[in-house]
Chain A
Amino acid sequence: MLSYSLRMAKDFKGYLLLLAFLLLHTYSTVAQPDGKALFQANCAACHNPIKDATGPALKGVSGRVPSKEWLYKWVKNSASVIGSGDKYANEIYAKWNKTAMTAFPALSNEDIDAIVKYVDEYEVPGPKVVPGAETPKEAGDNTLLYAILTLVLLLAVYILTQVNKVLSRSANVKSGLPSPKDVPFFKNKVIVAVIAILILIGFGVWLTNASEFGRQKNYMPKQPIFYSHKVHAGINQINCLYCHAGAEKSRHAMIPSTNVCMNCHKQINEYTGAETHPLVTLEGKKVDGNAEIKKLYEYAGWDPAKKDYIRDDKGAIQAKPVEWVKIHNLPDHVYFNHSLHVVSGKLACQRCHGNIEQMDEVYQFADLSMGWCVNCHRETKVQFADNNYYSIFQKYHDEIKAGTRQDVKVSEIGGLECQRCHY
């Protein structure tokens, strides 16, 4: 590093090297386990940093437990720690109604450290004012205003031209000059040209609109429960895949069943963010978050007073599905597979769904037209080097090696062919 910094002062290459180093450095810090994400993905269903839930509040956990090693063992397999007769473990187990903690053998010690760091540093989220972030004002639709203004101006132009004409004619008469002959408007080349252009534009607009038939961009229906993605995915940072688990496995992203909601909402029975983030519908009506959670309990068959499910005499939970209004509709002859885009395409959800973590009510972000799909397939690069599946495309590998090719687009591996999506 010393040599780098020495060279840095002398030549420009040094800057580049430093830049590369810094980039690498940033990358490595990013690659450190993200305590918050890990907590959200693994722990949040049962633990809150500052509140007791299914399990104890975790803030300060590093101070409470006997040792770091004990904590690693406990997280990876609590049952074995309890089984070993460990005193502290058995106390906790007894205190929490002998509810066994799920084992997380996949978490590394670094991961656990990161989680502990996160919970220990956790602060109650207060109202934060982000400087420079304005409340987005309702952008009114000014089309009508402009149209009227244009008409008025056109009228003024017309009147002025006519006035000018009359005046110049009378001036001509006065000065005895011959006036140019009036050309009927349909023989006026300018007018004919303008009308032709207008017709063409109209036809174009009509065509565009016609092809929009059946498309639902910006469709934002009312849902049976006012479920805010902003509260869940935005403010509370719940991983999209926690609820939409199918997005990694199946063609369907899957709307979670009510028992998935209840993983968290057994504990979370009130909306505490009303002050920092009041829920408001598009029409401006205020929404009571607590009432919406109650609606969920109705569907899930949960009795919040008894803190237990309502069951029939056979022991089956009396749950009924929520009938959500489907926003993203593809025609039946289109096959779309979420898992391929999420797992092998490594696309973020937002690419097609927009800033979903900022939406209280979800609307359709993209028009989901074939042109939109095809454009993306034309522009998007496949994970060519990283995915061994593509090793069969020898020609492209050769070209990349030879330097005649930088990347491979989806369209170049057949991504524009009919039977990728229609069969």
Chain B
Amino acid sequence: MSTDNQYNMSKKQYWKGLEELNPSDKFNDQVANEFREDLPFAGVESIAEATTSRRDFLKYLGFSTVAATMAASCEMEVRKAIPYAIKPENVTPGVPLMYASTYVDGGEAVPVLVRTREGRPIKVEGNFDSKLTGGATTARIQGSVLNLYDATRLKFPTIEGKESTWEAVDKMVMDALAGLGGAPLYIITSTLNSASTAQAVAAFASKYPTAKHVMYDAVSYSGLLDANLSSFGKRAVPAYRFDNAKVIVSIGADFLGTWISPEIYAKQYSKGRKISAKNLMMSKHYQLEGMMSLTGSSADERYTCKPSQYGAVALGLLNALNGGAATVSPSINEAIKKIAADLNANKGNALVVCGSNDPNVQTIVNAINNAIGALGTTISFGSVNNTKQGNDSDMNAFAEALKNGQVGGAMFLDCNPVYDTIHGEVIKGKLPSLKLSVSFNDRNDETTQVCKVAAPTHHWLESWGDAEPHTGYTSLMQPTINPLFKTRHFAESLLKWSGNPISHYDFVKSYWMGKLGGEGAFDAAIQSGLIEPEAMPMSGASFSGNVADATAKIAAMKGSADGKPEMIIYEKVGIGRGGAWSNNPWLQELPDPITKCTWDNYVLMSPNRAKAMGAEHTDLNEVQREKKVFSIKSGGKEIKLPVLVLPGMHDDVIAVAVGYGRDKGAGKAAAGTGINVYPMVSKGENGNAYFYASDVELTGTSATYPLAITQTHHSYQNDRPIIHEFTFDEFKKNPMELFNERKEELGHYTHSFEAGGGHGEGGHEANAHIEPTKADQDWQDAYRKNGTLYPNHESLGMKWGMSIDLSSCVGCGSCTIACQAENNVSVVGKNQVLLAHDMHWIRIDRYFAGDPSKPDSIQTLFQPMICQHCDNAPCENVCPVNATNHSSEGINQMAYNRCIGTRYCANNCPYKVRRFNWRDWNEADCFDDNAYEDGRRDDINNNITRMVLNPDVTVRSRGVMEKCTFCVQRLQGAKATAKKQGRTMNDGEARTACQQACPTDAIVFGNVNDTASSIYKLRYEEQKERVFHVLEEIHTLPNVNYLSKIRNTNVLQSANPEHSGHSAEAEHHV
């Protein structure tokens, strides 16, 4: 059809992975089949060769059916209904209660709301009243509720590994403290920003004057803090204001994924990028980095360099601002020139951040920010960020003292130095010989194992407390459940040992009543959870850094010798620094945003390097589960990890994530996979930990190792436009381009078949530059009605709709985990992910465009893919038992109890969003002992862990299909509230879990029939130019729409036919 070619105007070339760019036959086979393996008789091969005849089989079948019927269904069990003995006043069974509290992990502290049901927390949401975060969350915040129910947590205090009582622990510790005899006592913690806990530490230190409080961050920001001390006189991370910046430059800082406070930065960042035809404003984001980070994948322009070159890049940029030239590499020099011009043109509206932990590099970055007027505009020292305060030198001093036998005792809170510092070996060796060693950690992790006493502290969901993530912004903590185990808060323990036996609640309360002036004020503060100023105080600082010294030191820095790679040691978005996260099955199974790999760590490598080192498999693609294992040698240590080839990596850079290689004390999900790379962190000349290593020896081995990568699961053939992307200039010039394309493709249905108008008439009237009018809306309605022979679904009351903004989405994955927590989505374990049996209802498709052999050319794009709730759904027509059908509110409903598991629907779904329960993941079957076990994910079915399940959502059993429901339980709940109050529903009353979790507000949801709703306004007024539906030409009529991606750059790689590989051919219709 002629219209096809016209529609291909904005069709660009994207690929999910190298296998899609250069497809092998095997890959094509995979894409063609929804279910890629035969029926799962794994382990029972004999069945296939069994000699049982068909008749015998039928006999067995008949017998077992009858037997099962007789055994199972004749007698109903007697169930009990047990009310409260004395009902707590504010609890109504079946009605959730929300409590304001504070999520805490190390120094990270984020105000949250916790939803509890019948006294157990089941879901964490951002506290949308917070002016600091605006309710933004990350995947880890969403997943933190599972940590509470972690079966690996210590259930009681221990002395020398044996169960003990708090009385015995108190006696032992206090005796030991009295017997220290002036020997120094170290209290080692991750960053502590709780004012009340700080007071407890101070009280303890005044009782035991030899006590020293040392803070360190596993992933260190010490260099940044040191540089700020010398540059601005304050050892603090300033508040960054990405929302005030028109030009954002990041040198190796993953500020949307893992750097300092990603949830705040993502929210701010997205504010500057909410582009529409009426609001043609968009910040410009440059990223220079060694590996492919989450932030880099969102960048408008991205350049790669080695981590050892970050200093040279910063220096070059500083010179270029003053008209000088950079001397890094020709392509980087060119880029720096461009960036410098952009920064100079936007003085006062620009921000440069850097992920290096070298104070010299950070001093140069400070000088740049000083030069571009960022201080006081996009950087504020009026309220500093307290989430990172660690000091590597103090930690080095502790290790040195320990080595020299100058330490009397040591206590550890929320940190695991045996595992996550370069001093691990020293601490592990020396700690057992100390008179006193106490771990307050929540589990018997690597450090706790070598401590005499384990005095586990509460999880934050069980605890009173407070945190001050930014100065002046306090978030209070209140327990949402009684402590599950015999744990005691760290502050209470310290106070007790300093001779003040006060309960932690009384302590926190009296502290805050003193601050706030009275019980009423305290209660009000606890209720809102927040003590915040009206607006963030913006004030700069005067720069007094020693640029000359820093320049000299940077110039003297040596990177890797030619050919030898540098290794970046990075945090994964889901697993972070390790800690309790390593044992969180939700986060382990969260596909990494960039690599889409689950359950493992691996060494990332560019395609060029992989080819040169023979790391590619015959297909050079991810169809192969088995990856070649490489040996990495650095600083006298050797590790072996499988290779994952990732476009966009600098050719001389490899990268490995921390958080793996855990001891079995960390838990079932954490243990037995990957390698710990913290010991390979290098120590800079100033003592700071550099999270990269130079001169790495990389050699191949003959071994292979399977990696569970989801990127090619649920693929659909990419020869139709699934994504629409425009440059900022293109969009400015012609915002209507996409709208008109759609009209040309679909507008000829304006005349119905009956009317005999024929095809193609409406379409050709399209004019590229007219504004859409009411008549232009009509062709969409006409297409809906006339494009099919099926009757149209009428939505009289509600019609739910969702919009996902591809420009705002940064791919962080918090929606995926929020959905998992809300909807009881199962964890399947690595072996089943390998079989493409993953159950996530939200799959974030990551597409690349560009030339894989040129890392700087790679442009990345994320597309969250959920059930599109088609009004003309292909899945509904093929279900033999009508288990999936359409509701009058536009929801594609799935009745689990009706489903018989034919999987026809999944086969017929063009979006590949249906998930089948291949196994009994949750012991939900009516047969006992039928649950799937693999040794790593099994704790998810523990009786404690199961308390996390949402009681409003059915736990699905084996053999049924499931998929996104638009969080129907929330919609029904909101409708019920309105109905009971006899009023119409307000916009925003019903919010889906993914919408609520999204830190960048990329997801808008609501009732499209309500012309006052934000979804209606967005679709038909504010963003009508950017709206499109995926595969809308096949007339599925999705209730989910997407907004086109706008990239603030000159060149779209996807539009470059030179790089388009096979897909270009697919474009020519044969």
Interface string of A384-423 (1 = CB under 8 A from B): 0011111111111000000000000000011001111011
Residues of A within 8 A of B969 (CB): 335, 423
Decide: B891 and A324 in contact? CB cutoff 8 A.
no
Is B163's beta carbon under 8 Å from chain A? no
Decide: B980 and A393 in contact? CB cutoff 8 A.
no
Residues of A within 8 A of B775 (CB): none
Is B482's beta carbon under 8 Å from chain A? no
Decide: A422 and B80 in contact? CB cutoff 8 A.
no
A388 vs B978: C-alpha distance in the bound complex, in angstroms? 9
With CB as the reference atom, state the residue of chain A lying closest to B883: A418
Is B86's beta carbon under 8 Å from chain A? yes
Interface string of B869-889 (1 = CB under 8 A from A): 000000000000000010111
Instruction: Decide yes or no: A417 and B83 within 8 Å by CB, A332-B954, A389-B984 being known contacts.
Output: no
Within 8 A of A (CB), among B380-411: none
Residues of B within 8 A of A329 (CB): 76, 79
Number of interface residues of A (CB under 8 A): 57
Residues of A within 8 A of B953 (CB): 423
Is A337's beta carbon under 8 Å from chain B? yes
Decide: A388 and B984 in contact? CB cutoff 8 A.
yes
A363 to chain B, nearest CB (A): 14
A408 vs B968: C-alpha distance in the bound complex, in angstroms? 23
Instruction: Decide yes or no: A258 and B86 within 8 Å by CB, A331-B897, A333-B897 being known contacts.
Output: yes
Is B46's beta carbon under 8 Å from chain A? no
Residues of A within 8 A of B954 (CB): 332-333, 422-423
Decide: A322 and B83 in contact? CB cutoff 8 A.
yes
Decide: B896 and A395 in contact? CB cutoff 8 A.
no
Interface segment out of the listed A107-115, A118-126, A245-253, A287-295:
A245-253
Residues of B within 8 A of A340 (CB): 976, 979-980
Residues of B within 8 A of A322 (CB): 82-83
Is A321's beta carbon under 8 Å from chain B? yes
Decide: A423 and B968 in contact? CB cutoff 8 A.
yes
Decide: A344 and B79 in contact? CB cutoff 8 A.
no
Residues of B within 8 A of A331 (CB): 897
Decide: B888 and A252 in contact? CB cutoff 8 A.
no
Interface string of A220-263 (1 = CB under 8 A from B): 01000000000000000000000001100111101111111000
B80's partner among A256, A319, A326, A423 (CB-CB below 8 A) is: A326
Residues of A within 8 A of B887 (CB): 414, 417-419
Decide: A325 and B92 in contact? CB cutoff 8 A.
no
B73's partner among A214, A326, A420 (CB-CB below 8 A) is: A214
Is B95's beta carbon under 8 Å from chain A? yes
Within 8 A of A (CB), among B953-996: 953-955, 965, 968-969, 972, 975-976, 978-980, 982-985
A362 to chain B, nearest CB (A): 11
With CB as the reference atom, state the residue of chain B lying closest to A320: B85
Decide: A259 and B87 in contact? CB cutoff 8 A.
yes
Decide: B78 and A418 in contact? CB cutoff 8 A.
no
Decide: B79 and A259 in contact? CB cutoff 8 A.
no
Residues of A within 8 A of B81 (CB): 255, 324-326
Decide: B76 and A321 in contact? CB cutoff 8 A.
no
Within 8 A of A (CB), among B71-108: 73-74, 76, 78-87, 92-95
B85's partner among A258, A344, A392, A418 (CB-CB below 8 A) is: A258
Residues of B within 8 A of A323 (CB): 80, 82
Is B798's beta carbon under 8 Å from chain A? yes
A209 to chain B, nearest CB (A): 11
B1064 to chain A, nearest CB (A): 43
B797 to chain A, nearest CB (A): 5
Is A317's beta carbon under 8 Å from chain B? yes
Is B426's beta carbon under 8 Å from chain A? no
A355 to chain B, nearest CB (A): 21
Residues of A within 8 A of B74 (CB): 213
Decide: B93 and A254 in contact? CB cutoff 8 A.
yes
A419 vs B965: C-alpha distance in the bound complex, in angstroms? 9
With CB as the reference atom, state the residue of chain B lying closest to A338: B94
Decide: A388 and B982 in contact? CB cutoff 8 A.
yes
Is B796's beta carbon under 8 Å from chain A? yes
Residues of B within 8 A of A252 (CB): 93-94
Decide: A317 and B86 in contact? CB cutoff 8 A.
yes
Is A90's beta carbon under 8 Å from chain B? no
Instruction: Decide yes or no: A250 and B95 within 8 Å by CB, A325-B78, A339-B980, A392-B984 being known contacts.
Output: yes
Residues of A within 8 A of B82 (CB): 321-324
Within 8 A of B (CB), among A360-393: 386-393
Is A93's beta carbon under 8 Å from chain B? no
Is B333's beta carbon under 8 Å from chain A? no
Residues of B within 8 A of A391 (CB): 984
Is A343's beta carbon under 8 Å from chain B? yes
A300 vs B982: C-alpha distance in the bound complex, in angstroms? 38
Is B895's beta carbon under 8 Å from chain A? yes
A219 vs B554: C-alpha distance in the bound complex, in angstroms? 83
Residues of A within 8 A of B1062 (CB): none
A349 vs B985: C-alpha distance in the bound complex, in angstroms? 27
Decide: B965 and A344 in contact? CB cutoff 8 A.
no
Residues of B within 8 A of A420 (CB): 972
Within 8 A of A (CB), among B855-905: 885, 887-889, 891, 893-898
B965's partner among A246, A257, A259, A423 (CB-CB below 8 A) is: A423
B976's partner among A213, A333, A339, A393 (CB-CB below 8 A) is: A339
Residues of B within 8 A of A344 (CB): 976, 979-980, 982
Is B1009's beta carbon under 8 Å from chain A? yes
Is A269's beta carbon under 8 Å from chain B? no
Residues of B within 8 A of A332 (CB): 954-955
B897's partner among A249, A257, A396, A422 (CB-CB below 8 A) is: A422
Instruction: Decide yes or no: A343 and B83 within 8 Å by CB, A249-B92, A251-B94 being known contacts.
Output: no
Decide: B976 and A324 in contact? CB cutoff 8 A.
no
Decide: B85 and A326 in contact? CB cutoff 8 A.
no
Is A299's beta carbon under 8 Å from chain B? yes
Decide: B95 and A337 in contact? CB cutoff 8 A.
no
Is B952's beta carbon under 8 Å from chain A? yes
With CB as the reference atom, state the residue of chain B lying closest to A221: B78
A389 vs B87: C-alpha distance in the bound complex, in angstroms? 32
A343 vs B982: C-alpha distance in the bound complex, in angstroms? 10
Decide: A386 and B85 in contact? CB cutoff 8 A.
no
Residues of A within 8 A of B93 (CB): 246, 250, 252, 254
A246 vs B891: C-alpha distance in the bound complex, in angstroms? 29
Is A54's beta carbon under 8 Å from chain B? no
Is A267's beta carbon under 8 Å from chain B? no
Decide: B86 and A319 in contact? CB cutoff 8 A.
yes
A252 vs B419: C-alpha distance in the bound complex, in angstroms? 48
A149 vs B925: C-alpha distance in the bound complex, in angstroms? 48
Within 8 A of A (CB), among B824-859: none
Interface string of A22-62 (1 = CB under 8 A from B): 00000000000000000000000000000000000000000
Instruction: Decide yes or no: A216 and B889 within 8 Å by CB, A257-B83, A257-B87, A340-B976 being known contacts.
Output: no
Residues of B within 8 A of A393 (CB): 796-797
Decide: A422 and B979 in contact? CB cutoff 8 A.
no
A27 vs B1022: C-alpha distance in the bound complex, in angstroms? 53
Decide: A259 and B86 in contact? CB cutoff 8 A.
yes
Decide: A389 and B985 in contact? CB cutoff 8 A.
yes
A423 vs B796: C-alpha distance in the bound complex, in angstroms? 22
Decide: A321 and B84 in contact? CB cutoff 8 A.
yes
A257's partner among B85, B955, B980 (CB-CB below 8 A) is: B85
What are 19 sample pairs from A and B whose C-beta atoms fall under 8 A apart? A249-B92, A250-B94, A252-B93, A254-B83, A254-B94, A258-B83, A258-B86, A323-B82, A324-B81, A326-B80, A329-B76, A335-B952, A340-B976, A392-B797, A394-B796, A395-B796, A413-B797, A419-B968, A423-B965
Measuring CB to CB, which residues of chain B are less than 8 angstroms from any residue of chain A? 73-74, 76, 78-87, 92-95, 796-798, 885, 887-889, 891, 893-898, 952-955, 965, 968-969, 972, 975-976, 978-980, 982-985, 1009-1010
The 7 closest A-B pairs by CB, nearest first: A250-B94, A326-B81, A319-B85, A257-B84, A418-B895, A257-B87, A255-B83
Measuring CB to CB, which residues of chain A are less than 8 angstroms from any residue of chain B? 213-214, 216, 221, 245-246, 249-252, 254-260, 299-300, 317, 319-326, 329, 331-333, 335, 337, 339-340, 343-344, 386-396, 413-414, 417-420, 422-423
